[in-house]
Structure formats: structure tokens, C-alpha cells
């Protein structure tokens, strides 16, 4: 669990950065915190499904 903490934090940071860069490129306002949270929730769901898949393989 502790081994993946930094990885998840970096993924959350990368998602926020990507959303910010996309908004900047399109000339729109910065995404609201709810948009950023949705992106992070999608990443978390993907992360959890990846863990489940890895456990099934082992």
C-alpha cells in the first residue's frame, strides 16, 4: 500500500496538470474542482481495476 502512495499522488498531479494544460490550450477557464475530482475518480477506478486484474493473474 505504501509503495503505491507516491505513484498515485503523481498520477493525480498528472491528471490535474493535463486538465490545466488542455484548458490553457483551448483558451477556456481552468477546470472547476469538481471536474478535477471526476478525473481523479476515474483514475482511481482504473487503478482499482488494475489491482484486481493483477491479483487474478497471480
pLDDT 10s digits, 1-58: 567 888 889 999 999 999 888 887 777 566 677 888 888 888 888 888 888 777 777 6
Q: Which residues of 18-43 are buried (b: 16+ CB within 10 A; e: fewer)?
A: ebeeeeeeeeeeebeeeebeebbeee
Contact 22, 58 (CB under 8 A): no
Position 1 scores a pLDDT of 56
Q: Please report the pLDDT score of residue 16 as a whole number.
A: 92
What confidence score (pLDDT) does residue 31 get? 65
Q: What pLDDT, on a 0 to 100 scale, did the predictor assign at position 30?
A: 63
Amino acid at each position: 500500500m505504501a509503495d503505491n502512495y507516491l505513484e498515485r499522488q503523481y498520477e493525480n498531479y498528472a491528471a490535474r496538470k493535463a486538465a490545466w494544460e488542455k484548458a490553457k490550450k483551448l483558451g477556456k477557464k481552468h477546470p472547476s474542482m469538481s471536474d478535477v475530482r471526476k478525473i481523479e475518480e476515474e483514475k482511481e477506478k482504473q487503478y482499482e481495476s488494475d489491482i484486481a486484474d493483477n491479483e487474478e493473474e497471480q
